[in-house]
Homo-oligomer: A and B are copies of this chain.
Amino acid sequence: MNRPAVHVIGTGLLGTSLGLALRRAGYEVTLADLSPTARRLAADMGAGTAAEPEDPGIVVVATPPDVAAPTIVEALRRWPEATVTDVASVKTAILVRVREQTTARELDRYIGSHPMAGREKSGAIAAREDLFAARPWVVCSDEDTPSERLAQVVALAEATGASVIHLDPDFHDSSVARVSHAPQVLASLMAAQLKDMPIDGVGLAGQGLRDVTRIAASDPGLWTQILTGNAAEVREVLAAIRGDLDTMIDALELAPGAFASIASLLAAGNEGRDRIPGKHGAAPAKYAEVTVVVDDTPGTLGRLFADVGELGVNIEDIRIDHATGIRLGSVDISVIPAAQLTLTEGLLERGWRVPEAAIEQEGRE
Contact of A238 among B252, B266, B305 (CB under 8 A): B252
Q: Say yes or no: A298 contacts B280, CB within 8 Å.
A: no
Q: Say yes or no: A179 contacts B206, CB within 8 Å.
A: yes
What B residues does A203 contact at CB under 8 A? Answer: 136, 165, 277, 281
Query: What is the minimal beta-carbon distance from A45 to any residue of chain B, in angstroms?
Result: 6
How far, in whole Å, are A204 and B137 apart by their CA atoms in the complex?
9
Q: A interface, by DSSP: helix, strand, loop or mixed? A: helix
Q: How many residues of A contact B (CB 8 A)?
A: 155
Q: Say yes or no: A133 contacts B293, CB within 8 Å.
A: yes
12 residue pairs bridging A and B, Cβ less than 8 Å apart: A117-B206, A133-B328, A161-B328, A172-B204, A184-B208, A187-B212, A189-B241, A189-B245, A205-B277, A210-B276, A217-B273, A220-B266
What B residues does A328 contact at CB under 8 A? Answer: 133-134, 161
Q: Say yes or no: A189 contacts B265, CB within 8 Å.
A: yes
How far, in whole Å, are A208 and B185 apart by their CA atoms in the complex?
11
What B residues does A103 contact at CB under 8 A? Answer: none
Smallest CB-CB A-B distances: 8 pairs: A302-B309, A305-B305, A188-B269, A175-B201, A134-B323, A194-B272, A220-B266, A306-B306
Which of the 9-residue segments A25-33, A54-62, A80-88, A312-320 touches chain B? A312-320
Chain B, Cβ-Cβ closest to A283: B199
A197 within 8 A of B: yes
Query: What is the minimal beta-carbon distance from A257 to any residue of chain B, in angstroms?
Result: 12
A143 within 8 A of B: no
Q: Say yes or no: A326 contacts B163, CB within 8 Å.
A: yes
What B residues does A274 contact at CB under 8 A? Answer: 217
Q: Say yes or no: B234 contacts A238, CB within 8 Å.
A: no
Q: Say yes or no: A208 contacts B183, CB within 8 Å.
A: yes
